[in-house]
Structure 1
Amino acid sequence: MTKGNQAESMLIWDARFPLIRLEGSGCSSFLHGQTSARVDGRAIGDLIQACWLNATGRVQALLEIRLDSAGADVLLLNGDIDSVAQGFDRVIFPADQVRLGEQRQQRRMQRLQAEMMPDLQQVIWLDDNADPPTSWQDPAPCNSSELECWRNRQGWPLGDKELTGDTNPFELGLMHWIELNKGCYLGQETVAKLASRGGVKQELRCWRSTADDGTALTSGDQLSLNDSRAGIITSASRDDVTGGSFGLAFVRRQALDAETLLAGASGVEVSISRPSCFWEPPTRD
């Protein structure tokens, strides 16, 4: 285990996120039809991860949903709360038995464990006046740099260059956020075609610079293979131990089998690997 991973094994992510309140007995069925997750039949209090897609299957927001006896709370891990609220409001009908409620900020804490898939058992929501449980009070919350390093090592696509509104769940490695065996939902037709036929044009990958000369790569740097465009870096962090850099990148389909690519104007060699925590992409032809 590296020095960086030892530190990350003790990180706690403590932040506030926008939340939409839905009221009414039909919230479960409504969210089942508007998000990528199986919501019908889930227990009250369960945290449910879901994508909110557009009609062509592009990810517009990443959500956590929690049902209760009076309705549901929808927390946005990434996305624009007004767009989601307006999208919900446009498709709510009286027969749905759903009312759009207040928007607020919700405090959320998550343990960040190195080399492990993010676990919803390690997530809690806190009321404004509540103190965290004793077991959550040590260590101190991570800072933004530590969080960015963690997500870049784990392959969690939370950055604005990954979630652009033009990427689909399979490109992002969010297969487990999609329920393929349920009825119609927003974006379902495109998602079903991608799942059955494969053929995504790019996939998210972790990259790491093999140079130790201090060369830093940044978001927006191009990747190449045999003098052809192979992708683009979307997130970058500095490795204080080796002096190199690492992060996330979209790699084009034709370059996915390459173990190394060249990056940036100076052609820095980078190793490419599949994010171990998330990837279960559709089969490629």
Structure 2
Amino acid sequence: MQALRDLQKSQGAILSSEGIPNTFKNAADLETVKAGAVLFDRSHWGVLQMSGGDRLRFIHNQTTNTFTQRQPGEGCDTVFVTSTARTIDLTTVYVADEALLILTSPGQDQRLMDWMDRYIFPADQVSLANLTADIAVFSLVGSSSAAVLKNLGIELEPDLSTAHHRSVDLGGVALRLAVGSGLALPGYTLLVSVEGAASVWQQLTDAGIIPAGELLWQQLRVQQGRPAPERELTDDYNPLEAGLWDAIAFDKGCYIGQETIARLNTYQGVKQQLWGLQLNGTVGPGEVIFAGDEKVGLLTSVVETSGGLRGLGYIRTKAGGAGLTVSVGAANGVVVDLPYLARGYLTTNNLPA
């Protein structure tokens, strides 16, 4: 990865203590994403490989989405949960010809390796490998992402679902190109060997794509509503509360945590939900959210944006949702819905008691 880091520093990258581009001197901003395309380095996210003849059955029985009928080139988001449906991680799984590639959140790769290893029995034809150190992950995000790739000679079929993917060649470098930016924004995810990472990054930025760092990613994540580990994805919450309904197949058979999730859905038992917050003052994660004098939730993430402070937080369902006026610490704010979050059966006219 050193060649990639050297290239990024030559482009004005300011690296974090972990070596991740935090920002760039000529930083992209939210308007750049709306009008064009930006490039994020997500190589600190985890990549696991699952191979063996039982791989589809195994991942089907381990996570919330369905896999047994998926074909190479397909993929989807899916959630690992505990036996009581507490969230472990939100992942994206790509079905390749001979293996599955599992994109995990940052720092969650070994945790998921250890978790899955507990459920692999001697008769299972399943093998796991951690490829995080071998594969670079980039996200191309923005309205002109497809046009930029087309100019580089790469074009996917229109209207493909998120996580559909195929192998492509970019300037002599083989990579896997997948639909979906990791956010509720148009874009693509690229998985490339670390040996070819610098070349791919150079070709994309030479094509006019503006490099962006972790600070902008976090702004987008919070404004979009994507939950993150140690913030919104913890043992305190289940994936229905986290707004991850689209990553759950309610008609599939038994899997770890399935009974709890089915019961919550059937009996409309989701007692708290993840929402966005627009705030007018400075506060930090962990602050209690009040509606009037009543404690109604907890702030989990906060970012500064050009439009003011934005946050994510869990709010009790019976307290209300979008439009609710709240206070958090010394700040006042309003609850807003966000494009990444889905709510299943929940509507303002159909709330659990």
TM category, shorter: 0.7 to 0.9
Distance across 2 between alignment mates of 1:78 and 1:59: 15
Aligned to 2:301: 235
Aligned to 1:11: 38
Q: How does 1:144-163 map to 2 (within 5 A)?
A: 144-163=214-233
2:121 maps to a residue whose letter is F
Residue in structure 1 matching 2:136, options 97, 103, 107: 107
Q: Contact 1:196–1:282 at 8 Å: present in 2 too?
A: no
Give the C-alpha shift of residue 118 in structure 1.
4.3
Distance across 2 between alignment mates of 1:208 and 1:78: 26
1:128 maps to a residue whose letter is V
1:117 maps to a residue whose letter is A
Give yes or no for the alignment of 1:21 onto 2:88: no
Aligned to 1:75: 103
Structure with larger RCO (C-alpha < 8 A, sep 6+): 1
CA gap 1:138/1:167 in 2 versus in 1, 3 angstroms: farther
Give the C-alpha shift of residue 183 in structure 1.
1.1
Q: Residue 128 of structure 2 aligns to a residue in which SS? A: strand
Residue in structure 1 matching 2:76, options 48, 64, 81: 48
Q: Contact 2:322–2:336 at 8 Å: present in 1 too?
A: no
Gaps of 5+ in 1: none
2:33 maps to a residue whose letter is E
Q: Contact 1:194–1:282 at 8 Å: present in 2 too?
A: no
CA gap 1:258/1:147 in 2 versus in 1, 3 angstroms: closer
CA gap 1:154/1:75 in 2 versus in 1, 3 angstroms: same
Q: Contact 1:49–1:177 at 8 Å: present in 2 too?
A: yes
Aligned to 1:139: 209
Q: How does 1:247-262 map to 2 (within 5 A)?
A: 247-257=311-321, 259-262=323-326
Residue in structure 2 matching 1:203, options 265, 273, 276: 273
CA gap 1:103/1:132 in 2 versus in 1, 3 angstroms: closer
CA gap 1:135/1:260 in 2 versus in 1, 3 angstroms: same
CA gap 1:144/1:151 in 2 versus in 1, 3 angstroms: same
The size of the alignment, in residue pairs, is: 274
1:6 maps to a residue whose letter is E
CA gap 1:89/1:257 in 2 versus in 1, 3 angstroms: closer
Q: Contact 2:29–2:216 at 8 Å: present in 1 too?
A: no
Give yes or no for the alignment of 1:98 onto 2:164: no
2:255 maps to a residue whose letter is Y
The root-mean-square deviation of aligned C-alpha atoms, in Å, is 2.4
Aligned to 1:221: 287
TM-score calculated relative to the size of structure 1: 0.86
CA gap 1:281/1:81 in 2 versus in 1, 3 angstroms: same
Aligned to 1:33: 61
Identity %, equivalent residues? 23
Q: Contact 1:221–1:263 at 8 Å: present in 2 too?
A: no
Q: Contact 2:289–2:299 at 8 Å: present in 1 too?
A: yes
Q: Contact 2:297–2:313 at 8 Å: present in 1 too?
A: yes
Gaps of 5+ in 2: 1-27, 144-182
Describe the superposition over 1:151-178 as per-residue Cα deviations: whole angstroms up to 9, x where unpaired: 1111111252211232111111110011
Give the C-alpha shift of residue 184 in structure 1.
0.9
Q: Contact 1:60–1:79 at 8 Å: present in 2 too?
A: no
Distance across 2 between alignment mates of 1:5 and 1:15: 18
Give the C-alpha shift of residue 83 in structure 1.
2.7
TM-score calculated relative to the size of structure 2: 0.71
Q: Contact 1:61–1:79 at 8 Å: present in 2 too?
A: no
1:88 maps to a residue whose letter is M
Aligned to 1:171: 241
Give the C-alpha shift of residue 265 in structure 1.
3.2
Q: Residue 198 of structure 1 aligns to a residue in which SS? A: coil
Q: Contact 2:225–2:341 at 8 Å: present in 1 too?
A: yes
* Runs of 4+ that moved beyond 6 A: none
